[in-house]
Amino acid sequence: MAIAPWKQLLINALESNAHLKHSSFFQLSTIGTNGRPSNRTVVFRGFQDNTDKIQINTDGRSRKIEELKRCSSGEICWYFTDSWEQFRINGQIDIIDGSNPSPLKLQQREKSWFASSLRSRLQYLGPNPGLPRLSDETQPAISLDPSAGPVDAFCLLILDPDQVDYLNLKSNLRLTYISSVSATAEKSWNVENVNP
């Protein structure tokens, strides 16, 4: 599979901004169950092996899962403060939870689980996100066997890009990339230089 032409731009931006901790954070927008936009900040967990698909870890009890089950379209917006580059990446999002029937997808989920820090994994054992806090008391200590596989609440999201809008504010360059799929299921990208 040929590398997507925008992917190298994103890899370069990640590398040139790597000294900034926030460069791995981006915003993910979905369509809320009320039909309105729903946006939150998530963490880039890498590309799925040898593809341009973007991985995101999330809690299966979060609102975004219900939203994605209703409408699997999503868009991320990623701004790199040192290089003044913005990527808006639109596509379909696949939810991989523990009930997924695909052994390959379950392996991807497990790989992503073990690639996360223990501290990150512990958050999936806490109370349901977004529900009212029952008390102000300190929550009891939670422990997790570091060798144990993914817990039920852990989900891997895979964003399969179909449109990318790239803006470089330093060079005043804006490119739009739109994918198309051939009869043999090969994805190709068309690029257009547009006004910033």
Q: Quickly tell me which residue has 């695909």 as its tokens.
A: 102
Tell whether the model's pLDDT for residue 1 goes beyond 60: no
Question: What is the torsional sign of CA 59, 61, 62, 64?
Answer: positive
Residue 19's CB is within 10 A of a number of other CB atoms, namely 8
Residue 131 pLDDT grade (very low, low, confident, very high; cuts 50, 70, 90): confident
Predicted structure pTM score? 0.92
* Domain ranges, ordered by start, for the chain: 5-126+146-194
Say how far apart CA 105 and CA 101 lie, in whole Å. Answer: 8
**pLDDT above 70 covers what percent of the chain?**
96
Cα–Cα distance between 159 and 95 in angstroms, integer?
9
The CATH class given to the 5-126+146-194 domain equals mainly beta
Tell me: the pLDDT tens digits for 57-91? 999 999 999 999 999 999 999 999 999 999 999 99
139 band by pLDDT with thresholds 50, 70 and 90: low
> What are the b/e assignments for 94-124, b being 16+ CB within 10 Å?
bbbbeebeeeebbebbbebbeebeeeebeeb
How many CA atoms lie within 13 Å of 94's alpha carbon, on the beta-carbon side? 15
Mean pLDDT of the chain: 94
- Per-residue model confidence (pLDDT) at position 140: 66
Those residues with Cβ within 8 angstroms of residue 125's Cβ, 6 or more apart along the chain or in another chain: 142, 144, 151, 153
The size of the chain, in residues, is: 196
